[in-house]
A = this chain, B = another copy of it.
Amino acid sequence: MKKLINSPEDVVSESVEGLVFAHESLLELHPSARVVMRRDRRREKVALISGGGSGHEPLHVGYVGYGMLDAACPGEIFTSPTPDQMYEAAKATDRGQGILFIVKNYTGDTMNFSIAVDLLTAEDYSVEQVVIADDVAVQDSLYTAGRRGVGGTVFAEKIVGAKAEEGASLEELKELCEKVSNDVRSMGVALTSPTVPASGKPTFEIATDEMEIGIGIHGEPGRERVKLRTAKEIVEVMAKAIVEDLPFVAGDQVAVMVNGMGGSPLIELYLVYRELKNYLDKIGIGISRSLVGNYITSLEMQGVSITLLRLDEELKRLWDAPVFTPALRWGM
C-alpha cells in the first residue's frame, strides 16, 4: 500500500487536523466530537450540515465555510459518521433557525442521520433532512438501497448554502434542496481501484485493459466491466445515461461537473470536459456553469464522474453567489 500516511488508524484524524490548521481563520474542530465547523457562527441562519465517510475529500469537510456548510461530520474511511457527531454538530451550530442535514444515500448515513434527527427532535430542535440519490448507474448497491448519492451533493451544498446565507427559512431550504436533488444526475467510471488504508489492499481487482462503467465512490460495482475505451466513447456512455434519465432535453441550461476520482490528473479531466461539451452541444443542451477538478473522490482511484444539474435563473444566481471554503471560493 503506497500512501503518504503515518498509520491506517490515524489517517482521518490527522488529515482533518491538517485541514483545520491550513484554514484556521475559517474552520475549527468541535472540542469533543469529530466535527469540522465554521469558526464564525455569529450569524442567525439555518445551520446546514452534512457528513459521510472520509476518503471523498474535499467532500464534505472542504465545503465548510461561508456560503456552504456550517459543519461537516467526517466518518472513518468509507464509513458513516456516528449519530453523536451529527448531534453535536447540530447543537454547536444551531442558531435557533433550525438545522438541515444534507445526506448522501448510503445505508449507514441515512440510518445515522435519522437517529440524529430523532435525538434532536426529542430535544425540541427544529431539524430536517434531504437525501441525495443522483447516481443513475445502478438501483441498489453494496451500501445503498435505491440510488447512490454522489456529485449532486456538491451542487446541493453550494446552492442551498447560498440560500441559507440569504436568511431563507428551514422549510424554504428543504424545498430548494429537494428541487436540486430532483434535477441532478450523475455517473462515474473507474480505471483503477481505491485502497482503503485499514485493508491495505485494492477494493477490487481490475485488469490492465479494463474499466468499470458506473462505479460507486467506494469502488462498488457499476453496470459493466468493459475493455478500455477512448475518452469520447466513455463520455458518450455516461452522458447518454445521465441525459436520458431525467431526461434533460434540447434547450435545457445545465451546470456540469467533471469530477476526478482522486488519482486522475487534471489534463485528463479537461479532455473529458471537451468531449462532454461536444456531446451536449450536439443534442442542444447548453452548459451555463461548470466545475472541472477533484470535488468528490474515492481515495486514489483513477476515474471520472459527470454530474448535470438543470438550471433556472434562481439556481444560477445561487450558484454564482459568493462562497469561501477550502475547496470552493469565488466572489469574495
Which positions in A face B, CB cutoff 8 Å? 2-7, 11-12, 14-19, 21-22, 54-55, 57-58, 62, 191-192, 208, 211, 228, 230-232, 234, 262-275, 277, 290, 292, 294, 297, 299-300, 302-304, 329-332
Contacts and interface: CB of A to CB of B under 8 A. Distances in A.
A5 B177 CA distance: 35
Given A55-B267, A57-B267, A265-B57, A273 B18 contact: yes
B192 A268 contact: no
A300 B55 contact: no
Nearest to A270: B18
For the residues of A in contact with B, the DSSP-based class is: mixed
A268 B3 contact: yes
Given A4-B304, A22-B290, A294-B294, A267 B329 contact: no
Copies in the complex: 2
Given A11-B267, A14-B274, A274-B17, A6 B57 contact: no
A314 B35 CA distance: 36
Contacts of A332: 330-331
* A18, A19, A232, most chain B CB atoms within 10 A: A18
B297 A266 contact: yes
A230 B302 contact: no
A236 to B, nearest CB: 12
Given A2-B302, A264-B300, 12 more contacts: A2-B191, A2-B192, A4-B304, A5-B268, A6-B230, A18-B270, A18-B274, A19-B273, A22-B277, A57-B265, A262-B265, A265-B299
Nearest to A273: B18
Contacts of A299: 265, 267
Given A57-B265, A302-B300, A329-B330, A271 B18 contact: yes
Nearest to A206: B2
Given A57-B270, A191-B2, A272-B18, A265 B231 contact: no
A272 to B, nearest CB: 5
A267 B230 contact: no
A267 B62 CA distance: 10
Contacts of A54: 267
